[in-house]
Amino acid sequence: MKSIAERYKSLAGAYVKLSDKFHQLDVAHMNLKEKLLPAVKAINSYRSLIQQLQLDKAELERTVQTLTERQQHLEDNQLTLQAKEIELSMAVNTLTKENTDLQTALQDFQTKYEVVAGFESLLESEPQTMLVEAEQQMELVEETLQEIALNSDPDLSQEEKELIEAYQKESESLFASMEPLKDWGSSEVPEALPCVA
């Protein structure tokens, strides 16, 4: 059996070895801490960066969603504007055609007005009075013509009418007998006229 001194000596040697080993482990631990600390800092930094990137990603996604909605809204507005542009173009074409038609109608009216412009003076009081008088005179002429058609010589007696009728018949026969004299010389006709008279 070992003595107490040997046991203490052995125990002390083991303690020294254990102390050296602990010191080495402590140094290694400190070295490991020194090496691990930048990695931990880097991990923490990366973790913070990842969190910030995730936040930025979410913000970008919201921004992209907003921009997509705005783009869709702008496209809808563009389609609406194109439809309105087509509608306005059709309206402008219609108005242009109507304007052209009105210009043509105005030109026709101007031409017709220029034709009848000279008759404006007939609307004044003096030409109107003359027109009324002329119409009255025409009525009298028409009445006279109707009376003449019924009785051309209302103031003559029946005997006088018969005399005029006989004279007219003689005149017609006289002119008929003078037809062959047309080819004669002008000097012979005056000699025959006194005989007829």
Percent of the residues in the chain that have a pLDDT greater than 70, as a whole number: 81
Distance CA 177, CA 196 (A): 11
Distance CA 143, CA 135 (A): 12
What spatial distance separates the first Cα and last Cα of the chain, rounded to whole Å? 216
More confident residue, 146 or 197: 146
Whether residue 133 contacts residue 127, with contact meaning beta carbons closer than 8 Å, is answered with: no
pTM of this structure: 0.37
Whether residue 174 contacts residue 196, with contact meaning beta carbons closer than 8 Å, is answered with: yes
Residue 188: DSSP 8-state: T
Distance CA 63, CA 74 (A): 16
Planar angle of CA 173, 174, 176, nearest 5 degrees: 60
Q: Which pLDDT score, from 0 to 100, does residue 176 have?
A: 62
pLDDT above 60 for 184: no
pLDDT above 70 for 144: yes
Distance CA 46, CA 36 (A): 15
Instruction: Give me the mean pLDDT over the 155-182 stretch.
Output: 70
Q: Given pLDDT bands bounded at 50, 70 and 90, which one contains residue 31?
A: confident
Q: Which pLDDT score, from 0 to 100, does residue 154 have?
A: 64
- Phi, psi (degrees; rounded to nearest 5) at 47: -60, -45
Most confident of 68-82, 102-116, 135-149, 158-172: 68-82
Amino acid at 197: A
What stretch of H or E contains 131?
helix 125-150
Instruction: Give me the mean pLDDT over the 65-91 stretch.
Output: 94
122: Cβ contacts below 8 Å, ≥ 6 apart: 128, 131
Most confident of 34-48, 54-68, 129-143, 161-175: 54-68
pLDDT per position as a tens digit, 82-136: 999 999 999 999 999 999 999 999 999 888 888 877 776 766 778 778 888 888 9
Give the range among 61-65, 76-80, 148-152 with minimum mean pLDDT. Answer: 148-152
Whether residue 179 contacts residue 189, with contact meaning beta carbons closer than 8 Å, is answered with: no
Q: Which pLDDT score, from 0 to 100, does residue 178 have?
A: 59
SS3 184: coil
More confident residue, 161 or 187: 161
- The per-residue pLDDT of the chain, averaged, comes to 82
